[in-house]
């Protein structure tokens, strides 16, 4: 496990030195073939079909303005996703509880000024490998599920 953590550290240093951004390493952004609301619906349906639940969808436009922020323009939604089995493996282990801050999993759906709908998600496997231990094990499983949930994206 220590070797994997050291290897990940060297990989991060190499990527930073080569001019690649951490964003491209940790976050995946793709164009959806659907509009915002249909994309959100598809994500929730796909998640449910493999045993995940979606406790909610945050409408960031309403939330930001409600709390005094400026109008953010095009729609931004955060789809919350949770898998009790995965969460239980991490949260039942003292060494993994710190990662509760990453729960529930979130997938963003939004438009940009080009009018296209985008989906962004954390690359769970890569994030987990940086953390090691039970978190890495579970995040690899989450990564596999996430790929299934988002399989409709090009």
The β-bridge partners of 108 are 78, 120
What pLDDT was estimated at residue 134? 95
Please list, in sequence order, all residues whose beta carbon lies within 8 angstroms of the beta carbon of residue 127, skipping any fewer than 6 positions away.
26, 102, 139
Q: Confidence band (pLDDT; 50, 70, 90) for 85?
A: very high
Residue 7 has pLDDT above 60, yes or no: no
Contact 135, 129 (CB under 8 A): no
DSSP structural state of residue 50: T
- The second-level CATH assignment, the architecture, of 23-149 is 2-Layer Sandwich (3.30)
The pLDDT assigned to 52 comes to 98
Range with the lowest mean pLDDT among 15-19, 115-119, 131-135, 138-142?
A: 15-19
Residue 44: which residues within 8 A CB-CB, separation 6 or more? 54, 57, 79
**Residue-range domain boundaries for the chain:** 23-149
The predicted pLDDT at position 8 comes to 55
Chain-centroid distance, C-alpha 49: 18
pLDDT at residue 25 in the model? 73
Average pLDDT, the chain: 90
28-44 tens-digit pLDDT: 999 999 999 999 999 99
* Angstrom distance (rounded) from CA 96 to CA 137: 11
Which pLDDT tens digit goes with each residue over 111-120? 999 999 999 9
Q: Is the pTM of this model over 0.75?
A: yes
Looking at per-residue confidence, does 10 or 67 come out higher? 67
The angle at the Cα of 87, spanning 81 to 92, to the nearest 5 degrees, equals 160
């Amino acid at each position: 496990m220590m070797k994997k953590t050291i290897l990940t550290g060297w990989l991060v240093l190499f990527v930073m030195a080569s001019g690649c951004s951490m964003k491209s390493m940790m976050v995946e952004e793709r164009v959806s073939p659907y509009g915002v609301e249909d994309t959100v619906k598809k994500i929730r349906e796909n998640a449910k079909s493999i045993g995940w639940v979606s406790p909610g969808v945050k409408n960031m436009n309403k939330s930001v303005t409600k709390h005094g922020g400026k109008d953010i323009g095009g729609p931004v939604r955060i789809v919350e996703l949770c898998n009790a089995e995965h969460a239980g493996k991490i949260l039942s282990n003292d060494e993994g509880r710190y990662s509760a801050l990453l729960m529930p999993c979130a997938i963003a759906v939004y438009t940009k000024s080009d009018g296209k709908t985008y989906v962004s998600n954390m690359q769970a496997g890569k994030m987990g490998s940086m953390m090691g231990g039970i978190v890495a094990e579970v995040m690899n499983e989450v990564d596999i599920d996430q790929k299934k949930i988002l399989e409709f994206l090009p």
